[in-house]
Amino acid sequence: MNKLYITAIASFCLIIILAGALFTVDQKEIGVVFQFGEAVRIVESPGLNVKVPFIQNVQFLDKRILNVSAEEKELTASDEKRLIVDAFAKYKITEPVMFIKTVHNYSGANLRLNKILESAMRTVIGRFPLNTLLTEQRANLMQQIRDLVHKEAALFGIKIIDVRILKSDLPTENSDAIYQRMKTERYKEAKQIRAEGAEEAARIKARADKENKIILAEAYMKAQRTKGDGDADAAKLYNIAYSKDPEFYKFYRSLVAYKSSLSKENTQFVLSPKAEFFKYLQIGK
């Protein structure tokens, strides 16, 4: 029985020792073996590994590209305009030992990188006017920010892969002021356009009235000229026709005068019967 107990206890202790001595490294991780607080070995290959139990411990780090987001910060551009900017950075742990000794873990790394990213954005954005963020130079700004962050992050065993500005907005009070200014400018522009339109309309109307008067005057002049030419031709024809028989012409004119004057039954004349007007009626014989 004593031997059985001893064997059981020995087996249990062996299991505990083996459990403390064996560790597995995942393919997406790096294992750093520490002994009394000092890193003695870095395991990058995935698989089963052995360490000294109770003396050595292992800390695992992700060797994939990681992400850290910067909270929204109010920054000031070189033209003294304020804006709200948030960004993110992608990084990779290149020096596991240095990473653990300086920032200890992911939370510490995110905290430090957040501050570094904010400082870099203030430095770079403060060199350029606000409208630079709305042009093609935006990529150049992000590159400068990435270089600054990478320089600082290298002290923690971190390599910065990329930095991107997610959003850049104006503060609420600035947005309201800009909206009101844009609204005023649009009203002013609309008023100017209406005034220019009214002026152009008046100019077109005046030109049309002038052209209308000119056309009417030319038409009237042409009509009068045509009428005059017609009257002249008619008079000429009358003269030619009437010159062939003047006496008949006088008789015809008298008949026309009788017809015009004596068209009503109650027409009365106070004339002498021997008047020239009644010559062809033979009154007074």
With respect to residue 218, please indicate whether it lies within any of the assigned structural domains. Answer: no
Cα angle 219-225-229, degrees, rounded to a multiple of 5: 145
- What is the C-alpha separation between 217 and 209, in angstroms, rounded? 12
With respect to residue 212, please indicate whether it lies within any of the assigned structural domains. Answer: no
**In this predicted structure, what is the pLDDT of residue 253?**
74
The DSSP bridge partners found for residue 42 are: 32
DSSP symbols for the chain? -HHHHHHHHHHHHHHHHHHHHEEEE-TTEEEEEEETTEEEEEE-S-EEEE--TTTEEEEEEE-S-EEEEEEEEEEE-TTS-EEEEEEEEEEEES-HHHHHHHT-SHHHHHHHHHHHHHHHHHHHHTTS-GGGGGSTTHHHHHHHHHHHHHHHHGGGTEEEEEEEEEEEE--HHHHHHHHHHHHHHHHHHHHHHHHHHHHHHHHHHHHHHHHHHHHHHHHHHHHHHHHHHHHHHHHHHHHHHHHT-HHHHHHHHHHHHHHHHS-STT------TTSGGGGGGTTT-
Identify the segments of the chain with pLDDT beneath 70.
1-2, 4-5, 8, 10-20, 170-179, 258, 261-285
**Are 56 and 86 members of one domain?**
no
Residue 109's CB: how many other CB atoms inside 10 A? 23
**In this predicted structure, what is the pLDDT of residue 5?**
67
With respect to residue 120, please indicate whether it lies within any of the assigned structural domains. Answer: yes
Residue 137's CB: how many other CB atoms inside 10 A? 13
Give the pair of three-digit tokens for residue 57. 């411990």
**In this predicted structure, what is the pLDDT of residue 171?**
66
- Residue 116's closest CA among 97, 83, 89, 143? 89
- What is the C-alpha separation between 155 and 118, in angstroms, rounded? 17
- What is the C-alpha separation between 69 and 77, in angstroms, rounded? 21
**In this predicted structure, what is the pLDDT of residue 284?**
47
Task: Choose the final residue of a domain: 114, 139, 170.
Answer: 170
- Provide the angle, in degrees to the nearest 10, between the axes of the packed helices 106-125 and 138-153: 140
- What is the C-alpha separation between 79 and 85, in angstroms, rounded? 16
With respect to residue 147, please indicate whether it lies within any of the assigned structural domains. Answer: yes
Q: What is the mean pLDDT of the chain?
A: 82
**In this predicted structure, what is the pLDDT of residue 116?**
92
CA torsion 136-137-139-142 (nearest 10°) is -150
**Are 155 and 143 members of one domain?**
yes
Q: Does residue 22 contact residue 49 with C-beta atoms inside 8 Å?
A: yes
**Are 55 and 87 members of one domain?**
no
pLDDT tens across 168-206, in order?
776 666 556 666 777 888 888 898 999 999 999 999 999
**Are 81 and 162 members of one domain?**
yes
**Are 105 and 162 members of one domain?**
yes
The total of structural domains in the chain comes to 3
**In this predicted structure, what is the pLDDT of residue 174?**
59
With respect to residue 91, please indicate whether it lies within any of the assigned structural domains. Answer: yes
Task: Choose the final residue of a domain: 141, 170, 199.
Answer: 170
Q: Does residue 116 contact residue 109 with C-beta atoms inside 8 Å?
A: no
With respect to residue 237, please indicate whether it lies within any of the assigned structural domains. Answer: no
**Are 91 and 108 members of one domain?**
yes
**In this predicted structure, what is the pLDDT of residue 64?**
92
**Are 19 and 92 members of one domain?**
no
**In this predicted structure, what is the pLDDT of residue 89?**
92
**In this predicted structure, what is the pLDDT of residue 61?**
93
With respect to residue 197, please indicate whether it lies within any of the assigned structural domains. Answer: no
**Are 99 and 154 members of one domain?**
yes
**Are 74 and 150 members of one domain?**
yes
Task: Choose the final residue of a domain: 62, 84, 114.
Answer: 62
**Are 80 and 155 members of one domain?**
yes
Q: Is the pTM of this model over 0.75?
A: no
**Are 36 and 78 members of one domain?**
no
User: What is the extent of the structural domain holding 55?
Assistant: 2-62
**Are 86 and 165 members of one domain?**
yes
With respect to residue 76, please indicate whether it lies within any of the assigned structural domains. Answer: yes
- Residue 149 sits in a domain whose CATH number is 3.30.479.30
**In this predicted structure, what is the pLDDT of residue 1?**
58
